[in-house]
Amino acid sequence: MSMITRTGAHSAVRAPAQNRASLLSTIVVLFKLRIVLLLVFASVGGALLASHGRPTWGELGLLLLTGAMSAAGASALNQYIERGHDGLMKRTARRPLVTGEVNARAALIVASGLVVGASAIALLAGNPALAFWLALGAFIYVGIYTIWLKPRSVLNVVIGGGAGSAAVISGGAAVGAWADPGVLILAALLFTWSPIHFWALALAYRKDYGRAGVPMLPVVSSPGRSIFWMLTHAVMTGLFGLLLALHSALGWLYLAPVALATVWLLRESVGLLSSYTAPRAMSIFKVSNIYLSVVLLAVTVASVV
């Protein structure tokens, strides 16, 4: 009897923990919190460049709150709109709006509230420029990329990269200097980086995207041609990354790690051109993430030190 009681008690303890873990996993997937984290990091990079490493805590707090709200809301709206296509792809078939784990109408309301609320808070805080760039980034991602271009044009992720650029510029806007040259260069880097990131994923899951009818470049073109354009974007991304070292807030402390990361990105891209496999394409996807993280971390350290 005591053994049964102890077993039942342990099960009762495990159940809430499993429920919490499941809820956390659902939130991470629905709001694409990994991407949100990267976008917020990019916006902080813009704020640090524009302020030469000296943003106020109030400016950073406002940026972190509104940037996370806008990016998370736009990500959930993306999944709400794409839930039909997501169900056709193995990679996305278990997303909560596809399985019905999350009510679609509720997700739409919450996501819309996050996007609108982010710009409203920025306006109430007296920063209309921040409100504008937050709204523009969400509009590019949801309206231009998700609704208009993704189901229709091979240029979907090229133009959709403007959402990442808007995140960087919103960081500059948070500190009152969105047109700072360093902010604009970092925004350009995000713009040229996005196609590498998404095309690598599309190469790895080429059949998935084809099954869903999404005209990603690797679906409508040969792997060789797709990799050529990935390499072209990698070169442009690397050039912007190196050019950023000229910003007065950075210098050698920034340049050293970014130069090494650029060589690595280019070498891996050239290697994919000479020997294409789906696992190697997925490796480029991971390398592109690491490259951007190195750039943003180097911006943070070099501008603050």
Give percent of the chain with pLDDT exceeding 70: 94
Name the DSSP letter for residue 238: H
Kindly tell me the sign of the dihedral angle through the C-alpha atoms of 247, 141, 201, 199. Answer: negative
What pLDDT, on the 0 to 100 scale, is given for residue 239?
A: 98
Is residue 119 assigned to a domain?
A: yes
pLDDT band at 2 (very low <50, low <70, confident <90, very high): very low
What pLDDT, on the 0 to 100 scale, is given for residue 212?
A: 87
Please name the residue that has the structure tokens 């102890």. Answer: 6
pLDDT band at 13 (very low <50, low <70, confident <90, very high): very low
Structural domains counted in the chain: 1
> CA dist 67 to 23, 137, 184, Å?
23, 10, 18
Is residue 27 assigned to a domain?
A: no
Is residue 134 assigned to a domain?
A: yes
Give percent of the chain with pLDDT exceeding 90: 85
What pLDDT, on the 0 to 100 scale, is given for residue 51?
A: 96
* 181/161 Cα distance (integer angstroms): 19
What pLDDT, on the 0 to 100 scale, is given for residue 21?
A: 74
What pLDDT, on the 0 to 100 scale, is given for residue 24?
A: 87
Q: What is the mean pLDDT of residues 295-302?
A: 97
* 127/256 Cα distance (integer angstroms): 35
Q: What is the mean pLDDT of residues 208-227?
A: 91
What pLDDT, on the 0 to 100 scale, is given for residue 19?
A: 72
What pLDDT, on the 0 to 100 scale, is given for residue 12?
A: 45
In this predicted structure, which of 6-10, 138-142, 245-249 has the lowest mean pLDDT?
Answer: 6-10
pLDDT band at 191 (very low <50, low <70, confident <90, very high): very high
What pLDDT, on the 0 to 100 scale, is given for residue 161?
A: 95
* 38/55 Cα distance (integer angstroms): 19
Q: What is the mean pLDDT of residues 34-39?
A: 95
> Taking 50 as the threshold, does the pLDDT of residue 202 lie above it?
yes
Is residue 78 assigned to a domain?
A: yes
Higher pLDDT, 16 or 278: 278
> Taking 60 as the threshold, does the pLDDT of residue 17 lie above it?
no
Is residue 140 assigned to a domain?
A: yes
What pLDDT, on the 0 to 100 scale, is given for residue 18?
A: 61
* 101/86 Cα distance (integer angstroms): 14
Q: What is the mean pLDDT of residues 87-113?
A: 94
> Taking 80 as the threshold, does the pLDDT of residue 172 lie above it?
yes
pTM (2 d.p.)? 0.91
Report the CATH number at residue 226: 1.10.600
Is residue 24 assigned to a domain?
A: no
- Mean of all residue pLDDT scores within the chain: 92
- At 240-280, the pLDDT tens digits run 999 999 999 999 999 999 999 999 999 999 999 888 888 99
Q: What is the mean pLDDT of residues 59-69?
A: 98
* 221/215 Cα distance (integer angstroms): 9
Is residue 77 assigned to a domain?
A: yes
The domain containing residue 89 runs over which residues? Answer: 36-304
> Taking 50 as the threshold, does the pLDDT of residue 201 lie above it?
yes
What pLDDT, on the 0 to 100 scale, is given for residue 276?
A: 85
Is residue 199 assigned to a domain?
A: yes
